A and B are shown apart, each in its own frame.
Chain A
Amino acid sequence: AAGVIQSPRHLIKEKRETATLKCYPIPRHDTVYWYQQGPGQDPQFLISFYEKMQSDKGSIPDRFSAQQFSDYHSELNMSSLELGDSALYFCASSPARLPSVDTQYFGPGTRLTVL
């Protein structure tokens, strides 16, 4: 069965650089979520999209922005990177049609290292 695809899997950047993470949801899933998991921490919700519109926002820095495109893939753009941005970034997708609730399926994550 198709799964959530994230690219790249690993990314190394210098401080103050910009990074773009991509997420391709499971086909026919129109809801996408982004989570950040710092070293030794639990995943924290960043932002979500439903039908290409932002549906919810969590603890996402102003330096980060995201969008969902017409083909439902999503991109997380991170600018002015800081050392503290080093983390595993997960994307999840769900067939949920808000306000109903359904299982979120997680991608393998993108490991971002900021030097």
Chain B
Amino acid sequence: KQEVTQIPAALSVPEGENLVLNCSFTDSAIYNLQWFRQDPGKGLTSLLLIQSSQREQTSGRLNASLDKSSGRSTLYIAASQPGDSATYLCAAYPRGGYNKLIFGAGTRLAVHP
């Protein structure tokens, strides 16, 4: 059964720091991996989708990488800002799962001025 783990569970940093959020999955047989942002009590905003054949995706200050052989993905946030404060969730598309997403518990990020 696919399990997704995110480390750290919480992170508090000063503005301007470069950050790395980690996501690991137990079964390397995944299709894709998707990173989301969730503000408190709000919906899920898709940040990046890394397809099975890709190794990384970039959007603005965000860069996500995928290493299926080691069962890991990282989300890199450059020059963090207070507006980046949110919970970041990674989710895996397991093979044979008809596209249902398996989510990690998330990393709660606080960026202070």
Binding site for B on A (CB under 8 A): 31, 33, 35, 41-45, 48, 50, 55-56, 58, 88, 90, 92, 94, 96, 98-99, 101-109, 111
Residues on B with C-beta less than 8 A from A106 are 36, 43-46
Choose the segment among B59-67, B72-80, B93-101 that binds chain A (4+ C-beta atoms closer than 8 Å). Answer: B93-101
Given contacts A101-B93, A103-B34, contact A43 B44 (CB under 8 A): yes
Q: Name A104's contact: one of B34, B51, B102 (CB within 8 Å).
A: B34
Residues of A within 8 A of B52 (CB): 101
B32 touches A107 (CB 8 A): no
Contact with A along B28-41 (1 / 0, CB 8 A): 00011010100001
* Given A42-B89, A101-B93; A108-B43 close (CB under 8 Å): yes
Nearest CB to that of B32 among chain A residues? Answer: A101
In the bound complex, how far is the Cα of B36 from the Cα of A73, in angstroms? 24
Complexed CA–CA distance, A43 and B36 (Å): 11
Is residue B86 contacting chain A, with contact meaning CB distance below 8 A? no
Q: Which residue of B lies closest to A42 (CB)?
A: B103
- Which residue of chain A lies nearest to B106 when distances are taken between CB atoms in the complex? A42
Determine if B99 and A98 form an interchain contact, defined as CB atoms under 8 angstroms apart: yes
User: B98 touching A55 by the CB < 8 A rule?
Assistant: yes
Query: Do B49 and A103 touch across chains, with their CB atoms under 8 A apart?
Result: yes
Give complex CA distance A101, B32 in Å.
8
State in angstroms the CA–CA spacing of A88 and B44 once bound together.
11
